[in-house]
């Protein structure tokens, strides 16, 4: 049996060409029905293959794929877990390839070749071959003081573009200069995209919302993601994301009983200061302060036990790699901050 290729190709090809991916092509399969498409990987997980939603139906017969609640993707009546979907800045949707086999009601099998460079997606007589391409998508790391500058972990940049791998002696061999390098709070070396080595070309798309880097046949898209912060009072932990990237996780100490840290949805600011003095509590110094609500701040402190111990503010360690300072330099005024006894539902899947 054959497929109605033309109707499917219009939407799929448009999405593929927008991001520099090759259009799907008919192969010389036994029955003439095998199609080839190219998968995409999303850093930092370079082992997991995603496929463009528009390239799946047809040739496969799937329940309706649609968006609900903003960018949340649904397959039939069920929501696709956020960990199994990725979205480009223009709304182009990708799903994790192995998800198709995990949904038994679809009757789909996914078989990989020995080196996992290609997968055959089979549904009855229908066959779709997905090849691991040379296209990678990553979320940028940006800082409040230089929001137009995109940073990326040096190891991700080297793997995506086939550059020499950084090592402990020289974390920045993938760039022209290490003069403007940074690190994540866990010590991961970051490099500016603008400093990528001379063999790499860099162009900007979407009003500088996405950077496109190319080196030989390797391509990397680095997109600007939405910043958000969540505090789990039960676990006494803070997490911060930029797009899909977890950029910071650190212990905290919130307000003790009777002067609890307020729960709810807030936004960073408007006050943000390298140093705030609390005259109410003996002129206590609160370095790297970010206002959350009224007189409640996220700030650095020397004593951060793993329990509620403050006068209502949220203490973040100054020790080690100084996550308090890192958070201060990263967070922008207006960044959403969720404070509760558990992690938000859209971040723990």
- For 34-51, what is the mean pLDDT? 83
Per-residue confidence band for 34, with pLDDT thresholds at 50, 70 and 90: low
Please give the Cα distance from 180 to 334 (Å, whole number).
26
Q: State pLDDT tens for residues 247-296.
A: 999 999 999 999 999 999 999 999 999 999 999 888 999 999 999 999 99
Q: Given this model, what pLDDT does residue 29 score?
A: 45
Neighbours of 190 (CB within 10 A): 22
The answer, yes or no, to whether residue 221 has pLDDT greater than 60, is: yes
Higher pLDDT, 263 or 73: 263
Architecture of domain 227-340: Beta Barrel (2.40)
> Where are the CATH 2.40.440.10 domain residues in the chain?
227-340
The answer, yes or no, to whether residue 2 has pLDDT greater than 50, is: no
Long-range contacts of 60-64 (CB under 8 A, 24+ apart): 60/100, 60/108, 60/121, 60/123, 60/126, 60/128, 61/123, 61/126, 62/106, 63/106
Mean pLDDT, the chain, rounded, equals 84
The answer, yes or no, to whether residue 7 has pLDDT greater than 50, is: no
Question: Can you give the pTM of this predicted structure?
Answer: 0.81
Both ends of the chain: CA-CA distance in Å? 39
Q: State pLDDT tens for residues 49-62.
A: 898 888 887 778 88
Tell the residue number behind the tokens 């500058």, with chain if given.
Answer: 149
Per-residue confidence band for 241, with pLDDT thresholds at 50, 70 and 90: very high
Tell the residue number behind the tokens 């649904």, with chain if given.
Answer: 74
């Amino acid at each position: 049996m054959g497929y109605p290729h033309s109707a499917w190709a219009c939407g799929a090809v448009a999405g593929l060409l927008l991001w520099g991916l090759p259009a799907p092509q008919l192969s010389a399969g036994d029955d003439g029905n095998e199609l080839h498409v190219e998968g995409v990987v999303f850093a930092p997980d370079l082992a997991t293959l995603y496929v463009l939603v528009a390239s799946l139906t047809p040739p496969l017969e799937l329940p309706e794929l649609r968006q609900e609640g903003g960018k949340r993707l649904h397959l039939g009546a069920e929501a696709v877990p956020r960990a199994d979907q990725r979205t480009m800045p223009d709304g182009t949707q990708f799903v994790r390839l192995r998800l198709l086999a995990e949904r038994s009601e679809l009757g789909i099998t996914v078989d990989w070749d020995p080196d996992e460079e290609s997968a055959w997606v089979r549904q009855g007589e229908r066959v779709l071959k997905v090849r691991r391409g040379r296209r990678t998508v990553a979320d940028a790391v940006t800082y409040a003081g230089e929001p137009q500058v995109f940073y990326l972990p040096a190891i991700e940049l080297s793997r995506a573009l086939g550059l020499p791998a950084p090592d402990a002696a020289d974390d920045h061999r993938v760039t022209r200069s290490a003069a403007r390098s940074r690190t994540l709070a866990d010590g991961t070396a970051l490099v500016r995209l603008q400093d990528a080595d001379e063999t790499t070309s860099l162009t900007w798309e979407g009003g500088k919302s996405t950077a496109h880097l190319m080196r030989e046949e390797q391509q990397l898209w680095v997109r600007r993601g939405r910043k958000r912060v969540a505090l789990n009072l039960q676990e006494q932990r803070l997490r911060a994301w930029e797009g899909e990237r977890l950029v910071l996780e650190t212990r905290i100490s919130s307000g003790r009983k009777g002067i609890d840290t307020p729960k709810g949805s807030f936004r960073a600011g408007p006050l943000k200061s390298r140093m705030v003095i609390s005259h109410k509590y003996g002129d206590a110094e609160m370095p790297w302060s970010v206002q959350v609500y009224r007189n409640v701040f996220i700030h650095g402190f020397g004593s951060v036990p793993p329990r509620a111990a403050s006068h209502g503010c949220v203490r973040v360690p100054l020790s080690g790699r100084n996550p308090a300072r890192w958070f201060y330099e990263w967070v922008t005024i207006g960044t959403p901050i969720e404070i509760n006894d558990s992690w938000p539902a859209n971040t723990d899947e």
